[in-house]
Structure 1
Amino acid sequence: MRAALELFTEQGYDATTVNEIADRAGLTKTTFFRHFRDKREVLFAGQDMHTRLLADAIDAVPGPATPLEAVRAALDALTATFTDDRRDVGARLRPVIAGNTELQERSALKRAKLAEAVTDALHKRGVSEPAASLAAELGIRAFYDAFDQWADPASERTLTDLTRHTLGELRAALATLD
């Protein structure tokens, strides 16, 4: 991923080939394709792990927790995997995705899949609609909004702290809508 991101930053996403990514990473093209369908997927490789982390964390929440408490626990599990040494990747990733329609579409799909995983896990806990999907959407929005803040090189807060704060702001905003 780092090799691909370096190349995408240096020469642009469209101008970068799979061969160049493989060479930079010290791999063969065949090895690259054993791990990724195409060069786009390099940037979204953690999606399956993220969906599992979210679902497993919701499953592990004690029974009487509210849907948003379950979502917060899931977000804590997910954000704990984003250590400070990954912040520079986030900072470089954002403009690469923003500069390419294909990557923006793939990013939107990832976001929808994460929300779907949270919604499904809440359904398994007995949370009905629209509460399950609303809680999921709030949680995933909090994660993405916090990620943008966290990826800023000037930020010193952890992604967990930023996500908790953002989720709190969204909950407060939701309360003012009635």
Structure 2
Amino acid sequence: MKLLVLLENTFNDIELTTTLSIFKASNKFDEITFYSSYANKSVGQFNITTVDSIINEVNVNDYDAIFIPGGSGCQTLRTNKDNLNTIKQFIDAQKRVFAICDAPNVLAETKILPDVKYSSYPSEWSILTRTEKRTDNDVTVDQQFITARNAVSAEQFGFTILKELFGKDHANAVYQAISGNIDKTIF
């Protein structure tokens, strides 16, 4: 599995690191690449995480899925036509799209998101552009889209992605390895 992570500056640190930590623990991701159409370095909104290994050009055919963390950087994403076009290319190619927090709002507002159910942050600024497909669920799976509500949902989001990609047995095994709860499953 080759994953492209689209970053805007001031992404949500919790959403990025929690989700990617679960992916890394799964040992199923051959490559995780950070991308932005304009930035060589990106800092999380809480100044905890800095990513300085960002590529600025991408061929979507080289990746199986894209992950878009939320955070205040989504305000920039709303007007970044190059990054939005990259996301649209993944959607048009029927590749997996993982988006959390305000990122699904951006996809709905810009009409990139097709007619699918989605979870997103219940922001005041997205009220006017929310579609009837928006749910209040922490995580929603519909077609090739997996979306989540907020940073608190990041753990469930990560494990749900593992379940959808690699099966519930693998997702449960990763949960057990991380948590030490060998007798507990989450799916």
Instruction: Give TM-score, length-normalised by structure 2.
Output: 0.29
Larger Rg: 1
Structure with more of its chain in helix, by fraction: 1
For normalisation by structure 1, the TM-score amounts to: 0.30
Would you tell me which structure has more strand in proportion to its own residues?
2
Q: Which structure exhibits the higher relative contact order, with contacts defined as CA atoms closer than 8 Å and separated by 6 or more residues?
A: 1
